[in-house]
Structure 1
């Protein structure tokens, strides 16, 4: 037994070393900077809680992340259901289309949305040519443009967990409900939908957590008017050289993300949702 434990720790030691060097130690350094720059104590955290700008950036971040999550879950469920149950003959092609965004840089995709949504972009020009609008609409540098572009980036993270969940559901249960007289919608609502909730929870949690710390797309599509926490941290460190406040906000964002996971764990089996279903 002792030999088995020794072998286990020998196998786990490289992974633990990587975690300590590249994850835990940087986090400890960030926390130390937040407590020591420019002076010892919780001054940066007090300043953070008193700052209206910081509070606004957190509100914007959670609002954008929530909107992105809701839209991704709704669209992702439709996509996953269609790929799994409806268009089976084209399943490989559709899965490839879901995975296609992963092969293109997030930066390139964000610039593509700028080309589409700009005042002289393709969308405004098309609507003006067909007479829908007289003047260009403001489709970017606001939350609409940020959410739209983030949904494009995050949608595969919602589709894949739900699709993996749906592929493990036995269709015999739905067919049995239909055989007992239930309508197609009732069989879906009462039998199929509850079995897909672990996949929905997995996709929603993944999209929401990733959206909280997203930077490139909000920075480009927001144009400085939709200031999410990650961009605010960048301004504090790069523009104002305020390392103390910047790292304090980073720690606060990390704690907020951890709280989201803790709350989610009270309602969802995270091990099942994030490991077995994805």
Structure 2
């Protein structure tokens, strides 16, 4: 390489580096003032959420004495295992019932007129404006042996009285009615984003209705199914009022066991161990479902 060509190449490289450096803006000190606005929120979360969680965990391993005896009690007592199994089984059944009832309702909301859709949304939102205790007391009136449901069964079909209250059926019915809106809203949010031209396009290609549903519509509505299912299932795990009022000791769930250990027996260590176990189950469920729901968000109406 000659001296001239070497000089030209160095000049070209120097010019490129100079233009690149000129295009870059010098980095100045970061402005942390916007983040200062988040300090009150962090303080509130730390004071009213993180601190109690830390206290609960510490109590679970230190009360009445340091060690893991509370967790050993949790997993070695048959009554506790039965309550845990009942809680998860009831939550799964309630989630499945809500999905079966909410899916066609949410789909219908996407194809009706705006006025009818607003009316259907009002029917879904109205129960959320009523206290859960009031709704549970109303179910107690309806489901009792001398209530309106058994009265209608006896008058129309000559059946009854059928035990509806203090049963697993009554608990599941009350929980499904309360949690149904939490399944409908995520499903509708997901279905509203589906292109309505896809199903006619699949029909033009010769796909029958069942094939169109299972290969086109159902996969596209999967984010709503996941988000609604997770929301309903996690809320069902912590229900206390409905199982206590509509059920009996045979329908007791983890929340009732926590209340019994802390309020009745004053066994804070065992009660907090149950709470930590329930929290860890919730975290594991969220992690597992997020792995399967890679194409969507677990939060209704929020895209990744």
Identify which of 75, 84, 97 aligns with 1:58.
84
Identify which of 171, 185, 190 aligns with 2:196.
171
Aligned length: 277
Given the superposition, is the C-alpha separation of residues 271 and 28 from structure 1 closer, same or farther in structure 2, using an over 3 Å criterion?
A: farther
Query: Greater Rg, structure 1 or structure 2?
Result: 2
> 2:273 matched to which residue of 1?
248
**Normalising by the residue count of structure 1, what TM-score does the alignment of the two structures yield?**
0.93
Asked if the contact 2:144–2:165 (Cα under 8 Å) also holds between the matched residues in 1, the reply is yes
User: Matches of 1:123 and 1:38 in 2, distance apart?
Assistant: 49
Asked if the contact 1:31–1:251 (Cα under 8 Å) also holds between the matched residues in 2, the reply is yes
User: Aligned-pair distance for 1:89?
Assistant: 4.5
Gaps of 5+ in 1: none
**Normalising by the residue count of structure 2, what TM-score does the alignment of the two structures yield?**
0.86
Q: Deviations over 1:246-268 (max 9, x none)?
A: 11111111111111112112211
User: Aligned-pair distance for 1:3?
Assistant: 5.0
* Residue 136 (structure 1) aligned with residue 174 (structure 2): no
Given the superposition, is the C-alpha separation of residues 123 and 3 from structure 1 closer, same or farther in structure 2, using an over 3 Å criterion?
A: farther
* Residue 210 (structure 1) aligned with residue 232 (structure 2): no
Identify which of 97, 120, 134 aligns with 2:146.
120
Given the superposition, is the C-alpha separation of residues 50 and 82 from structure 1 closer, same or farther in structure 2, using an over 3 Å criterion?
A: same
Which moves more between the two structures, 44-53 or 143-152?
44-53
Gaps of 5+ in 2: 1-26
> 1:33 matched to which residue of 2?
59
Asked if the contact 2:186–2:227 (Cα under 8 Å) also holds between the matched residues in 1, the reply is yes
Asked if the contact 1:199–1:277 (Cα under 8 Å) also holds between the matched residues in 2, the reply is no
Higher relative contact order (CA 8 A, sep 6+): 1
RMSD: 1.9
User: Matches of 1:81 and 1:244 in 2, distance apart?
Assistant: 47
